[in-house]
Amino acid sequence: MIVTKAGGGFVSKCPLCGQNLAEPIFATSHFIGDKSHDLYRFSDAAMHWTCYVHWPHQARFAQLYFEAGLRASERGSQPQYWPTLLKSADALVRYGLVVNEVSVLLRRSGTDIRITQSDWPQWLHGGWRDQCHPELERDALAELMPELVKLTLPGLIVPLAGNNSLPPKTN
Ligand SMILES: [Zn+2]
């Protein structure tokens, strides 16, 4: 559990180094239910991003969290609102039709990056380099970028020529 102070700082300590937490951090939901699992105590814990990057169990932990994310997306209660745009061994990219945002779930970092539809073009155009976490996440995104730039977001589909029944988007 992540405990925050009223002022916004963290009360919790990083389980990897024992020091007080400070941004940037990596945190998961409580996704390992088996108490005998050797990584159980790290699920639902927050850690410094840098500690996470250099953690010997990082790749395994990220993989577990990525797979949990895949399963959650498959048995989601309303998958029709989260169509899959791209699925590979390393990433799951979905689009939230109601929230109008892209979800980029990465195996290597175990993170789920959210980008709003309006930010998407700028993010693709290089914004991702500054906005993502360094190392793991940036490396994974750099590899995925050739695929991401090819995606068409559901909300941005241009009506076929001749179909004038849809009013132009005004925002
Ligand atoms: Zn730490």
* Residue 68 resides in a domain: yes
Structural domain contains residue 35: no
113 belongs to a structural domain: yes
Give per-residue pLDDT as tens, 5-46: 666 667 789 999 999 999 999 999 999 999 999 999 999 999
Beta bridge partners of 25: 48
Structure tokens at 124: 């693709």
pLDDT in tens, 78-114: 778 899 999 999 999 999 999 999 999 999 999 999 9
Q: What is the pTM of this model?
A: 0.83
Cβ < 5 A residues, ion ligand 1: 14, 16-17, 48, 51
For the stretch 68-106, what's the b/e string if a residue is b when 16 or more beta carbons lie within 10 angstroms of its beta carbon?
bbeeebeeeeeeeebeebbeeeebbbbbbeeeebbbbbb
If one counts the domains in the chain, the total is: 1
Q: How far is the CA of 136 from the centre of ligand 1 (A)?
A: 16
* Alpha carbon of 17 to ligand 1 centroid (Å): 4
Domain region containing 120: 57-155
Give domain status of residue 137, yes or no.
yes
